[in-house]
């Protein structure tokens, strides 16, 4: 409509714009301020980091630590085994995140539903979330990993990998369910009112109006949980799953050199840091989008 033409006018005016002397002075002053700030940042970083490094390097045990934790030639030797272990962590994360997504969504929908027929399931879902959010993951892994095989039920798996994954899924579903539920509750009631007044049923309103908005809002916290999940898959090593942590443990117990642990840590960082940066970007984007909506 008519709101296109003013934009075109202002862009053609922007092209012919020559900054005034005062504006040129201001730009020069801003540059000087920025240079001063950058100098201060460099000096203060050099002092703080320099002090930290000096403190570590001059400590009495540094020489021993250097050879037992940072022996790069040994680190290179074990890189293959540890990386193979990390592949187990990645596979576990992938499988678990799909299962968590399904289970957590079920829990969140049950907890937010108002249907009378679902009342017992709503109570069960609430109890489930309360319990699994409150018990340390390590305990759940131990209980599932050693408790389920102890039952001796025929046909039930004894695979530590499957049992470990199950434990992780049980705990994380409770966390993720709460994130999804908070997203569902964050959609304004007027959206529901609009959908219902168009004749949509409660499930249709959830499916077409509430959930799409809710999920979009909780993507950043969910990515955070994905990073945490990847790290926490390292805990299943306690059951004897040969993941990156377990592989590093085996390698270092053979030689009493702890470099494999550092190697494993660095490998984890190679995946988690890009993922975290990506999460930050998604979050920044969603905040700026919300601000734009607020201004409109």
Partner 1 sequence: MNVLEVRDLRKSFGADLVLDNLSLDVPEHTATVLIGASGSGKSTLLRCINLLDNIDDGSIYLDGSEITDPNVDVDAVRRKLGMVFQSFNLFPHMTVLENITLSPIKVHGLSNDQANEEARTLLARFDLADKADQYPDRLSGGQQQRVAIIRSIAVKPRLLLLDEVTSALDPVLVNEVLSIVRDLKSDAMTMVLATHEMGFATQVADEVCFLNAGKILERGPASQVIGDPQHVETQDFLRRVHEAGRL
Composition of the chain by helix, strand, coil, percent to 5: 85, 0, 15
User: Where in 170-199 is the site for partner 1 (CB under 8 A)?
Assistant: 190-191, 193-199
Is the CB of 151 or the CB of 295 nearer to partner 1?
295
For 259-286, letters b (16+ CB in 10 Å) and e give: bbbbbbeebbeebbeeeeeebeeeeeee
Q: Identify which of 186, 176, 187 has the alpha carbon closest to the alpha carbon of residue 222.
A: 176
Binding region for partner 1 (CB under 8 A) out of 32-40, 62-70, 87-95, 202-210: 202-210
Sign of CA dihedral 186, 188, 193, 199: negative
For partner 1, which residue of 186, 201, 253, 288 counts as binding (CB under 8 A)?
A: 201
Residue 1 is a binding residue for partner 1 (CB under 8 A)? yes
Q: Containing H/E element for 278?
A: helix 259-295
Site mask for partner 1 (CB under 8 A), range 209-248, x = bound: x--xx--x--------------------------------
Taking CB under 8 A as the rule, does residue 155 contact partner 1? no
**# binding residues, partner 1 (CB under 8 A):** 22
Does residue 14 interact with partner 1 by CB under 8 A? no
Task: Based on the shown chain and the rule CB under 8 A, indicate whether residue 12 belongs to the binding site for partner 1.
Answer: no
**256 φψ region: left (φ > 0), alpha (ψ -120 to 50), beta (else):** left
Give the interface with partner 1 as residue ranges (CB under 8 A): 1, 3, 190-191, 193-201, 204, 208-209, 212-213, 216, 292-293, 296
């Amino acid at each position: 409509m008519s709101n296109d033409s003013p934009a075109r006018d202002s862009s053609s005016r922007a092209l012919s714009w020559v900054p005034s002397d005062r504006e040129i002075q201001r730009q020069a002053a801003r540059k000087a301020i920025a240079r001063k700030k950058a100098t201060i940042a460099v000096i203060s970083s050099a002092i703080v980091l320099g002090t930290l490094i000096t403190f570590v390097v001059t400590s009495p045990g540094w020489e021993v630590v250097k050879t037992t934790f940072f022996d790069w030639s040994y680190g290179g030797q074990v890189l293959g085994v540890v990386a193979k272990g990390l592949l187990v962590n990645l596979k576990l994360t992938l499988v678990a995140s799909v299962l968590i997504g399904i289970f957590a969504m079920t829990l969140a929908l049950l907890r937010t539903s108002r249907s009378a027929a679902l009342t017992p399931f709503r109570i069960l879902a609430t109890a489930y979330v309360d319990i699994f959010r409150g018990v340390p993951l390590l305990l759940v892994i131990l209980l599932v990993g050693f408790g389920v095989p102890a039952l001796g039920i025929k046909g039930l798996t004894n695979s530590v990998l499957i049992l470990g994954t199950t434990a992780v899924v049980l705990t994380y579903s409770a966390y993720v369910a709460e994130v999804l539920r908070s997203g569902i509750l964050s959609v304004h009631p007027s959206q529901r009112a609009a959908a219902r007044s168009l004749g949509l049923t409660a499930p249709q309103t959830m499916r077409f109006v509430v959930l799409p908005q809710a999920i979009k809002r909780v993507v950043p916290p969910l990515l955070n949980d994905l990073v945490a999940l990847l790290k926490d898959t390292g805990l299943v090593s306690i059951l004897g799953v040969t993941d990156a942590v377990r592989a590093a443990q085996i390698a270092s117990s053979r030689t009493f050199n702890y470099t494999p642990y550092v190697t494993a840590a660095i490998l984890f960082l190679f995946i988690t840091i890009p993922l975290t940066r990506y999460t930050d970007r998604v979050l920044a984007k969603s905040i700026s989008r919300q601000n734009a909506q607020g201004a409109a």
